Structure 1
C-alpha cells in the first residue's frame, strides 16, 4: 500500500486547490475577444458538469457511477465493485419496488424489517435497511419503508465497506455495501409517457412521466412524475394503496449547475401478509399456499412522507469545483400488526396485536470541493468534504394479549384491546435523536499515462445518539458520543489500454 500524508483540515485542502488553479490560469491578451461557451444539456441527475455515466449497449447498465466523495467514476478507474442500473432497466423490469429491481443483482437478496414491512437489502450477507439508502448522495431523505421506482433515474449498488466513501449510515447498517438512488431529470428530448395496467388480483396501476426543457439554450429542465397503485394483490384479501408525486428541476448555467427535487408518497397496506417467526420450532413446516393470507383482517400499515433535496455545483476556477447539497424528510407512520410466531410444525402460532405511531424529521447535507492539479509530473485529483445528518424520531406503542391462529387455517379475531402502552399514541414524544458529522480528504494520483491510479484518503466520523423514555421524553441514559477515523488506500493498474471494439456504440 502507498504511504501518504494528508492536510490537517478540509479548509487547508480547499485553499491549496484554489491557489493551484489560480497559478495555472492564463490571462488573455489585451484585445482578445471574450466569448461565453455554449451550454450543452445532458440528462444529469446530480447537478454535475460530467452528468451521468454513459450506458452500455442495450442501455440497462452504465459504465460507472457515484463512488461516494470520489464522484462519478468509470468502472475501469474504480478499485471498488459497483453496478449502476439505468432508467431503461427500471422500465424494462416493470417492478413495483426497489427490492423487485435488485432481485437481478447477484450480490443482493431481499428481506423485511423487524416486525414491519420495510424493505431490507442483504448485500454480501449483511443487512442494509431502507433508512440507510442514499438519494442523490444524501442519507435518510427517501421514505423509509418503501420507495416507488417511478421516482428513479438510476439505482447504484456499491459492494464492500463504504464508511470512508459515504460516511457512516445513520441507521447503523450497510456493512456489506451501499445503495444510492438517483432522481429523474429532463433530457434533451421532450417526454410525455402514460402507463396503465392491471396486475394479479385486480391490482390496478397508472403512471405519468412528463419532461420539458426551457430557455434559449434549454438550460432549465422540469420533470414531473406521478403514479398510483391500488387494489388487491395476488395474496387474498391483501390490499395495497400506493401513491406518489414528484417534481425534479435542474438549471445548467455558465459556470454553475443547480438541481432540486420535491416529492410526496403514501404507502397504505390493509391486511398485509406478515412475516412468521420460527425461532421456537426445531424444524420448519412446509410453506402455506402462495396466495393464502394469514393476516388478521384489522391489521394495517400506513406511511406518509414529504421529502426534498437541493444541490448546487460551482466552477470556482479551472479544474476546481465546489458543491453543496441539502435535503430533508417528514414522516408520519401508523401500524396495527399481528405477526405470528410458530409454536409447532403443524402451523399453530401465537400473535399479539402491536400498534405503533411514529413521526420522524430528518435534515442532511454535505459540502465539498474537488480539484485537479499536476505536481512533479503526477496528476492529482484532490477532494475535501463535510457531511452532516440530524434525525429526530417520535414513537409510541401499544401491545395486546397473546391470541392463537394457524398459518394453514387462519383464525380471524375481533380487534383485541391493547392494555400495555408505551407513550401516547395520539401524540408520540421524542424517543431518539441522532447527530452525525464527518470530514473527509482524498487524493487520487495518476501515473504512467493514467494506467496506474493510487488513491489515499481519510474520514473522521462523529456519532452522537440520545435515547428518551416513551411518553415523557426524558433522556433515558447517557448519550452515545464517539468518533472514529477511517483510512483508505487503493491501487488500480490497467494492464492493457481499454478500447471499445469496432462497431461498438455507447447509448
Structure 2
C-alpha cells in the first residue's frame, strides 16, 4: 500500500471546535418540558451523576466507578456475571473524579495493570498480567472494539465513556494485536449522545499547567433517534518536572442514528501533543547496580529536546436487524499518526553515582492504518439450548514510514544533578522512507450456548488469522524481508451460575503475535520466525453482594520468545510463563463509602532460554506483588463533600534476564477532595487531588527490553466543572 503523507487536521479540528461552540450556544437553555434537570436535583443527591447511559454502553455498577460488564471483542458487550473472562470497565465518572488525563492515569487502580512510563512521557505503555502491551509504535489501543482507529502513543480521556481492560490473550476474540501484545486488550469506548448535556470544565495542574474542556450532547427527532456529541479541550503550560512544558489539544465528534431496525455511529477524532524536554526511559550499563531513584522533579532531558505528535482517526459502525433474531453489522475506519521528535531513545546510566550519557536523535514517523470488518449475529434455539452465534471477517492494514538518522553528538549529565548542555543541532530530513507494511486478515466464528435460563453458558470459538508483512531497510526504503503466515486460534469459555449472584468461570484462549525477523547481527539475518502462540488457562469465581462486587481468579500464560543465541543464531528458543492470582473488589460498602482495587500475585519464570544459566529466572518487569486500593467517603457533616484516597504498591522488578539488576519495590499515596453543589441551579463540581502525597522517589515500571522510568513527583490537580 502506498504511504500517504501525514497532514495535520487544522481544518477538521477547527470544524469540531466550531460545532461544539454552536451546540453550546444553541442548546445551553434546552431542558425537559417540566422545567429542566436543575430543578429536579435535590441537595442530598447531588453526588450522583445524573446523565443517562447511552445506547450500546454497559450501565454503571453501584458506586458508579465501574460498569456492569465490558466488551469481549467478537462477542460484544457481556455482563460481568455472564462473562467467562476477566474484564474491568472504568466509567467516565470515575475518570473525571480521579482527574485522569490519559488512559494510563485512568488505569492506575487496576491491580492487573502497570504503566511502564510516567507522567511527562509522550507515550503510554503497560504490562498486563506480566506481559507488555503497546510498546513502541504499536497502536494497540482498541477503539469501540476495533484496532486501527485510536491514537498510537497516548489516549486522552476527553473522549472516553469507558476504558476497558480485557485481561489475557485474546486472538480469537479481538484478532492479532498490531504489535503482538498478549497480556490483554485496552478498549476505549467513545462518548456518544445519551441525555442532553452541556458541561464546561476548567482545570489546573502543578507547576503551571491549565486549560479547559467543553462536552456537549444532544438528541433530536420524534423518537430522539438522532444524536450528536462533541468534545473539545485545550491545555498547556509547565509541568511539575523541571524545564518541561506540554501543550495538548483534543477534538472529538460522535454522531449516531438509532432507528427501529437500522443503527449507525460515526466517530471523528483529532488530538495533538507537544512536549518540551519530554521524560525518557533509562538504560543501565551491564554490571552496574541500580542507583537510588532521583527526585521526580529532576530531568536530564534538555529544554531544546522535544516531541510533537498528531493523531486523527475515524470509525463508521453500522447495524441492521434482518429479523428480531438476526443482525448484520459492519465497521470501517482508520487513523493517521505523525511524529517529529528530537531526543535520545534511552539515556544510559553508567555508574552508581548516576552519571549518564545521552545521544539525541532526530526521528520522523508517519503511520497510516485502515480497518474494515463485517459479519452477522444470530440468536436461535435447538431444543432447550439457546445459541448466540456470531461470524465475522476482518482486514487490518498498516503502513509505516520513518526517518531516523544518527545523532550528531553526546552530552553528559547526572540524574541527581542535571546539567544544561549546549544545543546539539539535529539532522532534519523532511522525507520519510518506507519502514514496514502489514496486513492482518481474519475469519472468526463463535457460539455461546446457554441452558437453564443462562445458569450455564458455554462459549466455543475459533479464528483463522493471516499475517502478511514487509520490512524495508531503515532510512533507505528498499525491501529487506517479507512475511506471509497464518495460524488458527481457538477459545473455550464456561460460566456456571449455581446461584443468581455467584458465577464460576473458566477459559482457555490463545494469543498470536507476528514472528520476529532475525536481526542483522544474526547468522541467519533476515529469516522470519513462525507466529508466536501464547496460551492462557484461567479459572475463578465472581460474587455480586448486591452493591459490592468481588472477583477471584487464577491464571497461567505461556509465550515463546525469539532470542539470539551465544552462537549468534536467532530462533524461537525462549519461553516465558507467568502464573497469577487476582482479587478485585468494587462498589459500595455503604451508600456513603465506595471501594475500588485489588491484589495480584505473580509468579513469572523463564522456562526456556538460549542461555542455560537464565532458566528459572524471573522475566524482565514482572513483580511478585501488585496492590491497588482506592476508597471514597461522602462526609456526613457537609452534603456533597467527598474524601478519596488510593494506595498503589509494586514489588521488586528485574531489568535483566540474568536477574543481577533489580528495581526496588515502591508505594505511592494519592489523596483528594470533591465537592458537588448547586450554584444558581447549575450542578457544579470542584475536585482537588494530590498525587504522590509523600513525595516518594521511586523507579516505576520496566519495559520488556530493560528500560525504566523515574516516578512522578508530588503533583497537584484542581478542576471545576459546571453543567448548564
TM-score (norm 2): 0.60
The counterpart of 2:447, out of the listed 443, 452, 456, is 443
Deviates further, 232-241 or 287-296: 287-296
The counterpart of 1:87, out of the listed 92, 95, 101, is 92
1:187 aligns with 2:191: no
Contact kept? 1:281, 1:345, Cα under 8 Å: no
1:282 aligns with 2:288: yes
Distance 1:281 1:289, change over 3 A: farther
Contact kept? 1:281, 1:343, Cα under 8 Å: no
Tell me the residue number matched to 1:104: 109
Structure 2 counterparts to residues 287-326 of structure 1, below 5 A: 287-326=293-332
Tell me the residue number matched to 1:31: none
The counterpart of 1:66, out of the listed 68, 71, 83, is 71
Question: How far did 1:66 drift?
Answer: 0.8
Structure 2 counterparts to residues 346-425 of structure 1, below 5 A: 346-400=353-407, 401-417=409-425, 425=429
Instruction: Give the count of matched residue pairs.
Output: 453
Q: CA-to-partner distance for each residue in 1:216-260, whole Å, 9 max, x for gaps?
A: 111111101011120000111100101101111111012011001
TM-score (norm 1): 0.85
Tell me the residue number matched to 2:479: 475
Deviates further, 272-281 or 119-128: 272-281
- Give, in whole Å, the separation in 2 of the partners of 1:133 and 1:492: 27
Q: CA-to-partner distance for each residue in 1:167-208, whole Å, 9 max, x for gaps?
A: 1101112x11111101001112x2111111221111112111
- Give, in whole Å, the separation in 1 of the partners of 2:183 and 2:547: 38
Tell me the residue number matched to 2:210: 204
Question: How far did 1:497 drift?
Answer: 2.3
- Give, in whole Å, the separation in 2 of the partners of 1:228 and 1:502: 41
Tell me the residue number matched to 1:497: 500
SS across alignment from 2:222: coil
- Give, in whole Å, the separation in 2 of the partners of 1:288 and 1:98: 25
Tell me the residue number matched to 2:10: none
Question: How far did 1:281 drift?
Answer: 4.6
- Give, in whole Å, the separation in 1 of the partners of 2:361 and 2:475: 17
The counterpart of 1:161, out of the listed 156, 159, 169, is 169
Question: How far did 1:503 drift?
Answer: 9.5
Question: How far did 1:318 drift?
Answer: 2.0
1:428 aligns with 2:436: no
SS across alignment from 2:421: coil
- Give, in whole Å, the separation in 2 of the partners of 1:82 and 1:494: 18
Q: CA-to-partner distance for each residue in 1:327-357, whole Å, 9 max, x for gaps?
A: 1111210010134201111111111011100
SS across alignment from 2:273: strand
Segments of 5+ residues of structure 1 without an aligned counterpart are 1-40, 46-50
Question: How far did 1:416 drift?
Answer: 2.1
- Give, in whole Å, the separation in 1 of the partners of 2:378 and 2:468: 32
Distance 1:404 1:280, change over 3 A: farther
Deviates further, 285-294 or 92-101: 285-294
1:52 aligns with 2:51: no
SS across alignment from 2:406: strand
- Give, in whole Å, the separation in 2 of the partners of 1:92 and 1:42: 18
The counterpart of 2:458, out of the listed 438, 454, 457, is 454
- Give, in whole Å, the separation in 2 of the partners of 1:332 and 1:159: 30
Question: How far did 1:377 drift?
Answer: 2.2
Distance 1:503 1:284, change over 3 A: closer
Q: CA-to-partner distance for each residue in 1:362-398, whole Å, 9 max, x for gaps?
A: 1012112111111122111111001211100110012
1:251 aligns with 2:257: yes
Contact kept? 1:159, 1:177, Cα under 8 Å: yes
- Give, in whole Å, the separation in 2 of the partners of 1:344 and 1:236: 23
Q: CA-to-partner distance for each residue in 1:128-173, whole Å, 9 max, x for gaps?
A: 1061110011112111111111110001111112111101101112
Contact kept? 1:121, 1:127, Cα under 8 Å: yes
- Give, in whole Å, the separation in 2 of the partners of 1:211 and 1:76: 31
Q: CA-to-partner distance for each residue in 1:11-52, whole Å, 9 max, x for gaps?
A: xxxxxxxxxxxxxxxxxxxxxxxxxxxxxx97446xxxxx22
Tell me the residue number matched to 1:76: 81
Contact kept? 1:139, 1:364, Cα under 8 Å: yes
Question: How far did 1:279 drift?
Answer: 3.8
Contact kept? 2:85, 2:493, Cα under 8 Å: no
Contact kept? 1:311, 1:323, Cα under 8 Å: yes
Q: CA-to-partner distance for each residue in 1:302-328, whole Å, 9 max, x for gaps?
A: 011121111011101121111101111
Contact kept? 1:43, 1:185, Cα under 8 Å: no
Distance 1:376 1:193, change over 3 A: same
- Give, in whole Å, the separation in 2 of the partners of 1:252 and 1:244: 26
- Give, in whole Å, the separation in 1 of the partners of 2:245 and 2:150: 23
Question: How far did 1:473 drift?
Answer: 2.1
Structure 2 counterparts to residues 25-40 of structure 1, below 5 A: none
Contact kept? 1:356, 1:425, Cα under 8 Å: no
Q: CA-to-partner distance for each residue in 1:249-305, whole Å, 9 max, x for gaps?
A: 111012011001111100110012322211435211122212112111211000111
Contact kept? 1:399, 1:418, Cα under 8 Å: no
- Give, in whole Å, the separation in 2 of the partners of 1:168 and 1:457: 15
1:214 aligns with 2:220: yes
Contact kept? 1:280, 1:342, Cα under 8 Å: no
